[in-house]
A and B are shown apart, each in its own frame.
Chain A
């Protein structure tokens, strides 16, 4: 079945709501900045795509992931015309790093914290009175994975309306582990460029409201056609072309669409040598001459971990709605595997668009691919 998306909400380093984020993508505005609260003397890499929301500049604080989540959910609920009382509405949250930043501050600096603070039950209950809340830690595809469960709930009639969200702030442990193995940190994120040098983490939250039907007189932001999920079962950090390809084919099959019907692919595009090579090769094989427009958002938002999939999906809906595809910023010379692909570079593409595919892949080979249609 196909389910209406009734509302969207998002925050990222380049904007405080979906409109601002989309405008920044079109204008090429980047959220990359020097480390805002980590001790710069401890890291080789000196830049992240952080959200500038700390109360005191340079001083970190706990609970930021939950705060971003609440803001994205608030926006989505408002956009959907719902009240902020979510007592009867399930809220599913996909996250790569939960409140692990708060855990770090507890262990290192002694701020008050306990095990119940690791997930988002308490913040969602406090702010929205939500009862049926769920936190999934699924690396970088977490929020699209959560969306798959929402599709299942709607399909089986287990809920009438559901909120699904993703959120992440950067942890020192994840940034530090990446820093440890990245001797020459990239100065920017350049997905699908032959000279790309790796990814840089970012912060963000995204939320959408889905329902089994459209309430009378409500506008629709788009339609969810399918979400496929699988696992490479191949390698802890490296992607596997077979797993990625089968997730894409499964999503298209479940949506009942052929590659030729897809107008836009919002790529996972992290800017790492391995992801982009694999994703480009699989995309070329799957679409085999049918040329959907291809773009991605991470050169300007950074890799926002578990929230990335849903943020990409919301941006895909904007593209469909406005007939505008912002370019992959920083893409100058496409990688060899991308030869013949319609990667949008340089300036925005203007075209009528009907259907989009959204890719999201995570550590451990956890793949999620969604197909969405425009509101029209």
Chain B
């Protein structure tokens, strides 16, 4: 079964669509403003990662044609989501433990209760957009974004859903910066993966794999899909010397968002008329994306 990327969304400072990922990062760009994208309603008391995730979800679902005029165009029980975020609620957790140490639980805000659960982005996304199918949150380190794609693909192939929204998002704040020891990309990307390649296909999903070492993963990707044009990889070591590589490191640490942002980069690449396979590498996980023309 060929699975297709049928919707895409990007929300990073200075990059609002897939093609922008292939351009140099604009220094000093404003942070993404979720309220400006989807309105203020329903964003109050949500943490930053959830707000960004909700904005990305709406854009990707709309792009895929399965969200229109405020409702889904297909049955909600056939729509699922996989969210990848490692750092999403770290600030809520750290602020809570700090407040308890300084005062007591009486000083906590009850509004933070849902945010203490690490699946808050996925569950809020489901509630807002009526996604009643599988609802999964991947917190698996640097491979998370590509892992999320793998699990979405698996559940589509076994028929648990017809469309899976895959979101990768991370927030920038004092806690996350200290955790990764550097700046964190404040945003991410989302895509819709669908069972049926339609005219909306923006890319086709090739193998998604994992091996013990990134060099082995890179080798396996080129073996399974030779002749690729582009590598999306923060690391240059596993990438063949002559190959074109885009690192996507300019926004800070993408962490759990990385793999999904890489897929969005591939979609941007194909949108420029390129047709060879694109390889994504995140840690020891890898994926191949094909241009949509192969569908016909």
SS class, residues of chain B in contact with chain A: helix
Cβ-defined contact, B122 with A364, below 8 A: yes
Mark out the residues of chain B between 52 and 94 whose CB falls within 8 Å of any chain A CB in the assembled complex: 76-77, 80, 86-87, 90, 92-94
Cβ-defined contact, B116 with A173, below 8 A: yes
Q: Is A232 an interface residue when CB atoms closer than 8 A count as contact?
A: yes
Q: List 30 A-B contacts (CB under 8 A).
A: A42-B105, A96-B117, A103-B90, A108-B98, A114-B180, A131-B284, A134-B138, A134-B147, A136-B136, A136-B140, A142-B119, A149-B154, A153-B154, A172-B96, A173-B97, A173-B100, A177-B112, A177-B113, A230-B77, A230-B134, A231-B126, A231-B134, A233-B127, A236-B127, A243-B132, A363-B114, A363-B123, A365-B126, A365-B127, A366-B123
Chain B min CB distance to A189 (Å):
19
Knowing A134-B140, A137-B119, say if A176 contacts B127 (CB, 8 Å).
Answer: no
Number of residues on chain B facing chain A (CB within 8 A): 65
Cβ-defined contact, A364 with B136, below 8 A: no
Cβ-defined contact, A158 with B141, below 8 A: no
Please, which residue of chain A has its CB at the minimum distance from the CB of B99? A176
Mark out the residues of chain A between 144 and 196 whose CB falls within 8 Å of any chain B CB in the assembled complex: 145, 148-149, 152-153, 155-156, 158, 171-174, 176-181
Cβ-defined contact, B140 with A176, below 8 A: no
Q: Is B131 an interface residue when CB atoms closer than 8 A count as contact?
A: yes
Q: Is B158 an interface residue when CB atoms closer than 8 A count as contact?
A: yes
Please, which residue of chain B has its CB at the minimum distance from the CB of A243? B132
Knowing A42-B101, A172-B96, A176-B108, say if A233 contacts B131 (CB, 8 Å).
Answer: yes
Interface size bucket, A side?
35 or more
Measured between beta carbons, the chain A residues less than 8 angstroms from B112 are 177
Q: Is B118 an interface residue when CB atoms closer than 8 A count as contact?
A: yes
Cβ-defined contact, A180 with B154, below 8 A: no
Mark out the residues of chain B between 121 and 153 whose CB falls within 8 Å of any chain A CB in the assembled complex: 122-124, 126-127, 129-141, 147, 151
Q: Is B2 an interface residue when CB atoms closer than 8 A count as contact?
A: no
Knowing A149-B154, A156-B154, say if A139 contacts B104 (CB, 8 Å).
Answer: no
Interface residues in chain A, defined as those with a beta carbon under 8 Å from any beta carbon in chain B = 39, 41-44, 87, 96-98, 100, 103-104, 107-108, 113-116, 118-119, 121, 131-139, 142, 145, 148-149, 152-153, 155-156, 158, 171-174, 176-181, 229-237, 243, 246, 362-366
Measured between beta carbons, the chain B residues less than 8 angstroms from A172 are 96-97, 100
Partner of B93, one of A42, A104, A119, A246: A104
How many Å lie between the Cα of A176 and that of B181 in the bound state?
28
Knowing A107-B175, A173-B92, A236-B123, say if A131 contacts B212 (CB, 8 Å).
Answer: yes
Q: Is B243 an interface residue when CB atoms closer than 8 A count as contact?
A: no
Measured between beta carbons, the chain B residues less than 8 angstroms from A103 are 90, 93-94, 179
Please, which residue of chain A has its CB at the minimum distance from the CB of B216? A131
**Given pairs A119-B139, A139-B117, A366-B122, 15 additional interface contacts (CB within 8 A):** A108-B101, A115-B86, A119-B140, A119-B141, A135-B140, A138-B119, A138-B137, A158-B154, A172-B100, A174-B117, A229-B160, A230-B133, A230-B135, A363-B114, A364-B117
Measured between beta carbons, the chain A residues less than 8 angstroms from B136 are 136, 138, 145, 149
Which of B112, B119, B140, B141 has the most CB atoms of chain A within a 10 A radius of its CB?
Answer: B119
Q: Is B110 an interface residue when CB atoms closer than 8 A count as contact?
A: yes
Chain A min CB distance to B99 (Å):
8
Measured between beta carbons, the chain B residues less than 8 angstroms from A155 are 158
